[in-house]
Amino acid sequence: MSGLLVDADAIRALAEILTDTGLTEIEIAEKDSRIRVARTLSVQAAAAPAVAAAPVAAPVAAAPVPAAPADLSRHPGAVNSPMVGVAYLAPDPSSAPFVSEGQIVSAGQTLLLIEAMKTFNQIKAPKAGTIKTMLVASGDPVEFGQPLVIIE
């Protein structure tokens, strides 16, 4: 480890972002260095006893609901997040959203912003079409590859 330089301040800052946003993983890369910080949530430990102790909850069938977001990321009109960050649907809180459901958009039109590392990144429509579904709300944390909008 003598050749490895660790930026403890950068790691602490990334860990703080994870805590503030509720994200589970964040990564930054610059030139030849890369820092990735990930965490596991302790909610998983609490979920195991509840499943074993409550067989009555099984008929409720909550399993199909989590499967839907995974399917939406493969939707041909899905616009997936290119990064981890926080989604914003308007340029500022007092402005109207960039787009809304049912609106016709052109290729290259700004759909929303994702804030990552205090930088606002425009997410643009990859094709022309109609906004079928907005899958995130302003202020929602988003993960890499998460579907944000469906354009048809």
Domain boundaries along the sequence of the chain: 1-60, 76-151
Low pLDDT (below 50) residues in the chain: 1, 42-54, 57-70
pLDDT attached to residue 15: 76
pLDDT attached to residue 48: 47
What global pTM score does this model have? 0.54
Nearest alpha-carbon partner for 82 in 110, 139, 124: 124
Instruction: Please give the Cα distance from 20 to 1 (Å, whole number).
Output: 31
pLDDT attached to residue 71: 66
Give bridge partners of residue 141 from the DSSP assignment: 86
Q: What is the DSSP letter of 7?
A: -
Look up the CATH number of domain 76-151.
2.40.50.100
pLDDT attached to residue 4: 57
Locate 78 and state its tokens.
């899905």
pLDDT attached to residue 41: 54
Length of the chain: 152
